[in-house]
Structure 1
Amino acid sequence: MTSPFLSRHALTRVLQSLLETELKAARGRASRDEEFPHHLSGAWPEDVKIAGDGSHSLGCDSLEVIGLAAAMNEMFHLSEANIDIEVSSATTFGDWLDIIEGAWQAGVVHITFRTSGSTGAPKRCTHEFTHLQVEVCHLTEMFATQTRAVALALPHHIYGFIFTAMLPDQLGIDVLSDKRMRQAGSDHWPRRGDLVVSIPEHWQFLNRTLSKWPEGVSGVVSTAPCSRWLIDSLMERGLHRMTEIYGSTETSGVGTRAWPEETYRLMPHWQPVTTSDWWKTNLIHNSGMRVQLMDGIQFCDDGSFYLAGRLDGSVQVGGTNVYPARIAALLVSRPGVADAAVRLMRTDEGMRLKAFIVPNSELPQDLLRRELEFWIETHLTTAERPKKFTFGLAKPIDPLTGELDW
C-alpha cells in the first residue's frame, strides 16, 4: 500500500515511538527499554503481537490495548475514515500500520500532536499534512546536501516528526535512530553528510562526549533555546553547521537561525499580521491560517526577529514547558516557607531550575531543605524539580532593574 504522506519505514518509527511512550507511561516506567523483551528493544518487527503472552508480543492486557488504540486514533484521526480498530482482527503491529495507511488512502489529511505541558493534561494540536509539507519543502532546500539523518528526537513529537520522518522521506535519505545507533555501535556515526537532529540537553551531552566531528556534519536543534556558548563549542570541535528551529507544537516550524546569526528569519510560508502592537505575535500562514505565538517577538528593519520571552511565563527544561511562578507558589504553600522564587539556571549553572527560599522560623534550614527535596521528588515532574536551593532572609532584588537576582 502506497502512503501519500510517509513511507512505511518512517511510519513504523513514528508509531513505535508513540506506542512505546504510551505503554511505558501506563506501566509507570518512563524510559526503560528493558521492560520489553530483549529482541523488542530495537525496531519492532511487523508480526509482533500487541496483546497476549510470549516473547513475540508486547504483552498488553485488554486495558493497555484500549489505551494504545486510543493514542493511535487520536494522533492519526482514524475516526475521519470511519475506521474502528477491531482488536480481534488487528492483532499485530503490522496490522496497525495497515490501518493508518488505509485511513490516509481513504482521505484523512489531519494529524494531532500533544504538547509536553506540565500543568494538567497536554494540549492537542492538530495540523493538516499539506501545511506540514509546505514546511518540509522549504527545509529540503536548506538541507539538500545531507546524506543521512541521525534521529535523536522522538518521531511522534512534531519536531522529530518533521525532521526525522517527513524530511528524510522527502530527501530520500536513510535515518539512523538511537535504537539503530546502539545496535550498530559508535563506529557507524557520526559520518560525513549526517544531519544530527536533537535537543539542547542532548547536544550538551554530545559536546562533552565527542572531541571532534567529521567534516560535513550539520546539526539541528529545537524545543528550547540553545546557548551560544554550546553552539560555539560544537563548532570549534568541527561541526559544520548548526541551525536553530523556532516553533511549537501549535505552529510547527516558524523561523530558523543559522550560527553565528543573532536573529531568526521567518520561514517563507509565514508572514506577520500587520498590527500597531510593538510585539507582533500574530502570524498568517500562506494557506490563510492565523496563529498567535506564545513568545513576544521583535522584528528588525531587515525582517529578521528576536525572541523576547514567553508570554505565559513558562520556560523549557528538557523540551518540556514548566512554569516557575507556579512552582514557586507551590513551595510557598509548604510548611516552613515564607516566600520563594524559581528560575531557569543560567548557562554557566546548568540546564535545570533553581529556587530561592525565604524560610520562616518553624524549621531548621537543614531539615527544611530535606523536607522540600522529598516533597519535590514525590509531587513534581522531573522537569519541574529545582535542583539547587539558595536560602536567605528576603528575595534578592536588583535595585536597577527591580528584578530578582541570585
Structure 2
Amino acid sequence: MSTLSQASIIAIIGALTADELAKIRKKDSQLWKGRQWKSDTIITTASRAQGNDNEVKVDSFEWMSIASRVVDFFQLDSTGLEDYLLRVSSLGEWAEVVQTSREQGSKDITFSSSGSSGQPKKCSQRWDDLYREAEYFASYLGDNLGDNDAQIKRVISAVPPHHIYGFIFSVLLPEVMSVPVIRGLKAFTLTQGQRLANGDLLVGFPGWYRQLAQANVGFPQQAHAVCSSGPVASDVLQQLHQQGLSQIIEVYGSSETSGLGVRIMRDGWYELLPRWQRRDLEHVVDISTNDSVAVPDDLEWRDERHFKPLARKDHAVQVNGYNVYPKRIAALMAEHPSIKEARVRLIESDSDSGLKALIVAEQQALNMPTEALIAQVQSWLAEKLDDAEMPRKFAVSGDVPVNDMGKEIDWDLQADLMSR
C-alpha cells in the first residue's frame, strides 16, 4: 500500500493545528481555519519567537494540545516517537517525525467525531481499508464520468483533510490518481471566482453547494462534485445543473465506518461499498474481518446492496458539513441565568441554513429589550460553542409555544402563539 506524501502530512498537521487553535481561541476561529500551512511554518512559544511571518505563537498548553492531536491522529504513540514533536518546531520537521513513525509500522489513522454531544469520539481506521476505499472511488469515478475530457485532473476541496471524508477525497484520492489538490481558502476563491476547469472534482458538503447555487457560480461543462455529510437538496442540485455542474456524487458514511455507500442519482438508492455486506436492518458486516458495525441512521433497504437513510439515530443535524446536536445546545443555553429553557432546531428554508433558537426567558429577563437579551446570550454562547453550533436566528418568548393539544410547535410556523 502507498505511503502518505510529506505535502499531505503537512496539510493534515496544519488542519489539526487550526482546528485545535480555533477551539481554544474561539473568537479567532476563522483566522486559523483560513491560514495557509507550509513546511516552514513554525509552532513556537512567545519566549522563543523570532518575529518572523512564518511563526505561530502559542503558549505551552496550546503547544501540548496541538501535539496531542497529531499524536492521536497518526497514532505516533504506537512507535514511541511522540516526544520528538516537542523537540522540533516546523511543520516540515513534524511531518518527518510522522513519516518515520509510519515507516516503523504506525500506519492506521484515528479520526474524531464532531464531539458536539460532549467529548469527541475517537475512531481508529485501518490504513489498508482507507487506501482500498480511495482506490475504489478512483475506479468508480473513472467508470462513471464518461469520456477522457471528463476524467479527474484536479481535486478542489472545501473539506478539511483531518476529517475522514476530507482525508479520503482530498488526501488519498489525489495520491491514488496522481492529480494535484487545492484546499481551503484557495479552493473557495478558485470556485467562487469561476476559475474551475474541465476535469475538476469539487469535494464539498451540502451547505457549501447551497452557497454556490445562491451565488450563481458558473461551472465548466466537465466539472464534477462529490458530497458527503448529508444529501444535496433537490432545488440546489437543479440550480447547480443549470449553472453547468455535470453531476454530484453523494457518499454516505461516518467516522466510525468510513464510507458505506455511494450514489449518483439524487433521491436514488445508495449502493454499499464492496467492503460491506448487510447483516440486518441495523448492522453491516466488514467482509474482510467479519466485524459487525451498527449503521448511524435508520435505513430503508431495497435489497442486500441498496439502501436509503431515513433519520439519524443520534438526533444530530448537519450544519456546513458538521454534525451538531440541537438538544445539547438547548441544554447549554438553559444554563444561562436569564433563560428558563430553550429550544434549538435546524432552519428549514431554501434560502438559509444553520440553527435557530428559542429563548424561553426568566420573568425578569422578559423586561429587557429583545435585542439586548439576544446579544447577551450570543456573547455568552460564543465562548462555549463552535461556529457550526452557534444558532443564526434567535426568538424570545415567555413560554414554549404549543398547539391546542398541548404539543410543542415550531415557533416560526405559529408566530401568533408566541408571547412576551
TM-based fold match above 0.5: yes
1:233 and 1:123 mapped to 2: Cα distance? 36
Counterparts of residues 174-213 of structure 1 (less than 5 Å): 174-181=180-187, 189-213=195-219
| Alpha-carbon offset, residue 267 of structure 1 | 1.5
Amino acid at match of 2:389: E
Aligned to 2:3: 5
Alignment CA distance shift 1:168-1:339 (3 Å): same
Instruction: Please give the per-residue CA displacement for 1:363-384, whole angstroms capped at 9, x wherever unaligned.
Output: 5476356424522441352333
- One of 309, 312, 323 as aligned partner of 2:325: 323
Aligned to 1:222: 228
SS at match of 1:30: helix
- When structure 1 is superposed on structure 2, of 10-19 and 359-368 the one drifting more is 359-368
| Alpha-carbon offset, residue 57 of structure 1 | 2.9
Aligned to 2:418: none
Preserved contact between residue 361 and residue 396 of structure 2 (Cα < 8 Å): no
Preserved contact between residue 150 and residue 195 of structure 1 (Cα < 8 Å): yes
Alignment CA distance shift 1:332-1:147 (3 Å): same
Counterparts of residues 1-400 of structure 1 (less than 5 Å): 4-28=2-26, 29-33=28-32, 41-44=35-38, 46-51=39-44, 52-54=48-50, 55=52, 56-86=54-84, 89-144=87-142, 145-181=151-187, 189-274=195-280, 280-287=281-288, 288-301=290-303, 303-331=305-333, 340-348=342-350, 350-356=352-358, 362-364=364-366, 367=369, 370-379=372-381, 380-381=384-385, 382-386=387-391, 387-389=393-395, 391=397, 395-397=401-403
Amino acid at match of 2:7: H
Amino acid at match of 2:195: W
Preserved contact between residue 213 and residue 239 of structure 2 (Cα < 8 Å): yes
Alignment CA distance shift 1:398-1:351 (3 Å): farther
State the Cα RMSD in Å.
Answer: 3.1
Alignment CA distance shift 1:301-1:393 (3 Å): same
Alignment CA distance shift 1:143-1:397 (3 Å): farther
Amino acid at match of 2:299: I
Amino acid at match of 2:344: V
1:251 and 1:376 mapped to 2: Cα distance? 35
2:362 and 2:33 mapped to 1: Cα distance? 45
1:332 and 1:390 mapped to 2: Cα distance? 13
- When structure 1 is superposed on structure 2, of 331-340 and 14-23 the one drifting more is 331-340
SS at match of 1:117: coil
Alignment CA distance shift 1:90-1:300 (3 Å): same
| Alpha-carbon offset, residue 248 of structure 1 | 1.2
Preserved contact between residue 90 and residue 96 of structure 1 (Cα < 8 Å): yes
- When structure 1 is superposed on structure 2, of 143-152 and 284-293 the one drifting more is 284-293
Percent pairwise identity: 28
Preserved contact between residue 358 and residue 395 of structure 1 (Cα < 8 Å): no
Preserved contact between residue 4 and residue 105 of structure 1 (Cα < 8 Å): no
2:68 and 2:345 mapped to 1: Cα distance? 36
1:7 and 1:398 mapped to 2: Cα distance? 62
Preserved contact between residue 85 and residue 97 of structure 2 (Cα < 8 Å): no
Aligned to 1:277: none
Alignment CA distance shift 1:84-1:291 (3 Å): same
SS at match of 2:129: helix
| Alpha-carbon offset, residue 80 of structure 1 | 0.9
Alignment CA distance shift 1:305-1:397 (3 Å): farther
Structure 1 moving runs of 4+ over 4 Å: 179-188, 329-340, 356-363, 390-394
1:34 and 1:264 mapped to 2: Cα distance? 32
Amino acid at match of 1:345: I
Amino acid at match of 2:135: C
Amino acid at match of 1:293: V
Preserved contact between residue 277 and residue 305 of structure 2 (Cα < 8 Å): no
Preserved contact between residue 5 and residue 129 of structure 1 (Cα < 8 Å): no
Instruction: Please give the per-residue CA displacement for 1:294-317, whole angstroms capped at 9, x wherever unaligned.
Output: 211111247422212111222122
2:33 and 2:228 mapped to 1: Cα distance? 28
TM-score by length of 1: 0.85
Amino acid at match of 1:384: E
TM-score by length of 2: 0.82
SS at match of 1:149: strand
Alignment CA distance shift 1:96-1:34 (3 Å): closer
Structure 1: 5+ residue stretches without partners = 36-40, 275-279
| Alpha-carbon offset, residue 241 of structure 1 | 0.8
Instruction: Please give the per-residue CA displacement for 1:269-299, whole angstroms capped at 9, x wherever unaligned.
Output: 111213xxxxx22111122232112211111
Structure 2: 5+ residue stretches without partners = 143-150, 414-420
Alignment CA distance shift 1:328-1:59 (3 Å): closer
1:343 and 1:179 mapped to 2: Cα distance? 29
1:329 and 1:305 mapped to 2: Cα distance? 34
Preserved contact between residue 245 and residue 257 of structure 1 (Cα < 8 Å): yes
2:200 and 2:64 mapped to 1: Cα distance? 39
